[in-house]
């Protein structure tokens, strides 16, 4: 792998690092719902998001034995939206948000979906909703309430379960009978074709597969008395929970069986990131309060690179640092962001104050300032202090701004400044060129990043 690809991967990993959603007691916190900068301003979206999460919280509470709910959520609006009631974003960004409002993906249209790359029980990448889905109430008739659909997608995202339906294989054979792909099998369904005039007729059978042809549709009674399953049909009024082992349909040719081979309830309680908490939590004594919301906005990205030029960085490490910083300045940092550069060893100094990235010339001028020589002690806390001083140039504080340490991390004095880093409100990333980096570096990044 060439050095350029290495640094692409390093920066992608570094700048996407996130502590993410947490289950604090019975309540989920640090739930970030971010609106893409491609979405035009429509403040109704904020209200629709709040309503969806509030409905979803109560539905989630009932779905998992009254154990969990959404306690806190943050809505991140785009930089170009106008408003006086948006507070300044701290660590939130669209790229790190697990729930995203963005324009339609051509592969899915307006339908909500969750990006899942992992295996059974692994957390997904993010949930995608479109503005149209949230604003147009006709989608409620098509899919069911938004709160229910939110919980369906949440189960994909958080617990790594999969759909129990299958649009490509809606039917299968079981004991000589044609069955619909579903869970549970207790849901009574009928199959019909819809004629051009809108009437129903018996389905045609494909002579090759001996299954209904493509025009055959599954019909069920919306008043069906069954409470399972959320991963099959959350829009059905009676559905309030997930399939358990005793009613899981193991024969159905769906992704849940292909990936997991077990009931969704079993995966959630035995394989998911929340498995230990869910098994030990006691049910709440009463229904939970609605989630609390804050609406935040990041106007302009402000970053300070803090470069270690101490003696331990001599040789290949200072070259690696220069290559990584060059790649960041030339290819990673976006236009109109503001970037400063500091260096540290025995002393700390400012190589560049905050500079707006407004041209390729600006990028190259910053690259020319990158150090090529190393020597002296590793006074990392001095570097941090210098970086924070640079970040405070624009508005007097560092809240929501970013620091990127490029260092080998071999220092014995950083523990004394972890707390000041946290209190600054800055988001701190660390890119260490050594396996023996001080653990406080990781602690600092974890405590300041979401």
Residues 215 and 274: their CA atoms lie apart, in Å, by 41
- Quick check: 288 and 61 in contact, CB under 8 A? yes
Name the DSSP class of 328: I
Enumerate the β-bridge partners of residue 101. 35, 129
Q: Within 10 Å of residue 412's Cβ, how many Cβ atoms?
A: 11
Parallel/antiparallel/unpaired status of strands 189-194 and 216-220: antiparallel
Q: Which two tokens stand for residue 268?
A: 């959630």
Catalytic residue list contains 153: yes
At residue 234, φ and ψ (nearest 5 deg) are -65, -20
- Single out the catalytic residue among 66, 153, 164, 440: 153
Name the DSSP class of 260: T
Q: Which run of H or E residues covers position 355?
A: strand 348-356
- Quick check: 323 and 339 in contact, CB under 8 A? no
3-state secondary structure of 104: coil
Residues 415 and 384: their CA atoms lie apart, in Å, by 12
Question: Beta strands of 55-174 (E only): which ranges?
Answer: 69-70, 72-77, 87-88, 99-101, 113-115, 126-129, 171-174
- DSSP assignment of 161-174 equals ---S--SS--EEEE
Integer-rounded Cα Rg, in Å, for the chain is 26
**Sign (positive or negative) of CA dihedral 66, 97, 141, 258:** negative
Residues 412 and 113: their CA atoms lie apart, in Å, by 47
- CA-nearest of 267, 225, 275 to 242 is 267
Catalytic positions are 153
């Amino acid at each position: 792998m060439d050095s350029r690809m290495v640094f692409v991967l390093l920066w992608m990993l570094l700048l996407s690092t996130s502590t993410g959603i947490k289950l604090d007691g019975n309540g989920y916190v640090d739930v970030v719902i971010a609106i893409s900068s491609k979405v035009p301003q429509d403040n109704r979206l904020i209200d629709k998001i709040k309503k969806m999460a509030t409905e979803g919280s109560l539905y989630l509470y009932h779905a998992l034995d009254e154990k969990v709910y959404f306690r806190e959520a943050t809505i991140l609006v785009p930089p170009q939206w106008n408003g006086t009631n948006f507070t300044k974003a701290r660590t939130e960004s669209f790229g790190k948000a697990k729930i995203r409002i963005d324009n339609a993906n051509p592969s899915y249209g307006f339908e909500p979906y969750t990006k899942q790359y992992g295996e059974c029980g692994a957390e997904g990448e993010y949930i995608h909703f479109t503005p149209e889905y949230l604003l147009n109430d006709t989608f409620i008739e098509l899919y069911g309430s938004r709160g229910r659909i939110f919980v369906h997608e949440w189960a994909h995202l958080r617990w790594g379960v999969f759909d129990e339906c299958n649009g490509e294989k809606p039917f299968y054979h079981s004991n000589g009978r044609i069955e619909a792909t579903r869970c549970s099998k207790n849901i009574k369904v009928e199959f019909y074709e819809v004629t051009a005039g809108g009437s129903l007729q018996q389905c045609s059978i494909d002579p090759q597969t001996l299954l209904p042809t493509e025009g055959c549709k599954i019909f069920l009674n919306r008043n069906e008395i069954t409470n399972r399953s959320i991963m099959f049909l959350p829009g059905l009024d009676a559905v309030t929970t997930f399939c358990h082992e005793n009613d899981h349909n193991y024969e159905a040719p769906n992704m849940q069986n292909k990936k997991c081979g077990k009931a969704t309830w079993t995966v959630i309680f035995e394989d998911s990131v929340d498995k230990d908490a869910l098994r030990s939590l006691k049910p709440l004594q009463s229904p939970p309060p609605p989630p609390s919301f804050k609406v935040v906005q990041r106007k302009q990205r402000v970053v300070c690179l803090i470069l270690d030029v101490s003696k331990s960085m001599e040789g290949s490490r200072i070259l690696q640092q220069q290559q990584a910083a060059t790649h960041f300045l030339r290819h990673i940092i976006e236009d109109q962001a503001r970037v400063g550069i500091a260096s540290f060893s025995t002393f700390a100094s400012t190589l560049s104050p905050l500079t707006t990235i407004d041209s390729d010339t600006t990028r190259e001028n910053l690259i020319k300032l990158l150090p090529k020589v190393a020597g002296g002690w590793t006074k990392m806390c001095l570097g941090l202090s210098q970086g924070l001083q640079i970040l405070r140039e624009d508005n007097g504080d560092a809240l929501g701004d970013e620091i990127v340490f490029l260092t080998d991390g071999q220092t014995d004095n950083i523990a004394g400044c972890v707390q000041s880093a946290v209190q600054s409100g800055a988001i701190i990333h660390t890119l260490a060129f050594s396996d023996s980096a001080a653990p406080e570096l990781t602690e600092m990044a974890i405590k300041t990043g979401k």
